Amino acid sequence: MKPHVKKLDRQCDHTDAPSILKDIFNRAIFKDIIKGLSVTLKYNVSPVITLNYPDKEKWIPTARYRGVHTLNRDEEGRELCVACELCVKACPTGCITVVPEEDDTGRGIADRVAKIWTVNLVRCMFCGYCEDACPTTAVRLGRDYELACRDMSCAVLNRDQLLQKPEIPEDFEGGTRVSARMKKMRGGIKVIPDINKKRDNWW
């Protein structure tokens, strides 16, 4: 046997007789293996820490999470957006398109409202500059992060889609996992959270 192989084989550095005997005894009763087995058996009965997404659970991010944009209304249901196009100017990727129009029927809080307000989610990098730039807090980045779909139709969201009420209310404190159910649709899969049923966080 070559010397360097021998060195690898030596697993204990003890040289005195009692510690060698102790080492042999420990190996004879499989001390290390039993130690390892006790660890794995302990973990075997400890609770599972996996987030059961998308089947039964979903992670709700905190309020400052930057997901898909929402266009908001005030308490009377009027659109907050005044089509000032500041968000367009602030946007680094140029993914927002706003075309203003005049409307004095009370649809918006001012006479000027957005005729077209689209965001191209393929280009958007969710930096949140648009909500910083918005003078009326009309555009907010919401908490929806399920963006995958089967064609490009969901890549561009228009004003009507953005104006819909978000499924998680603004004042809901996130950072938790909640029960959810998976819904299979033609366009893809949505996981609909039930925010009243909070699950324990394992940490």
* Residues at the site binding other proteins, with contacts judged by CB under 8 A: 5, 9, 30, 33, 36-37, 39-41, 43-50, 52, 55
- Provide, rounded to whole angstroms, the least separation between the CB of residue 50 and other proteins: 5
Q: CB-wise, 53 or 102, nearer to other proteins?
A: 53
- Provide, rounded to whole angstroms, the least separation between the CB of residue 15 and other proteins: 20
- Provide, rounded to whole angstroms, the least separation between the CB of residue 191 and other proteins: 14
Q: Tokens 């997901």, residue?
A: 67
Q: CB-wise, 12 or 33, nearer to other proteins?
A: 33
User: How many Cβ atoms from other residues are within 10 Å of residue 156's Cβ?
Assistant: 15
CA–CA separation, 101 and 135 (whole Å) = 18
Q: CB-wise, 44 or 153, nearer to other proteins?
A: 44
**Angle in degrees, CA 40, 201, 48, rounded to 5:** 25
Beta bridge partners of 99: 116
- Provide, rounded to whole angstroms, the least separation between the CB of residue 164 and other proteins: 31
**Angle in degrees, CA 175, 122, 69, rounded to 5:** 45
CA–CA separation, 19 and 171 (whole Å) = 65
**Angle in degrees, CA 109, 64, 196, rounded to 5:** 90
Q: CB-wise, 7 or 196, nearer to other proteins?
A: 7
- Provide, rounded to whole angstroms, the least separation between the CB of residue 18 and other proteins: 22
Q: CB-wise, 29 or 185, nearer to other proteins?
A: 29
> Where is 119: in which H helix or E strand?
strand 112-120
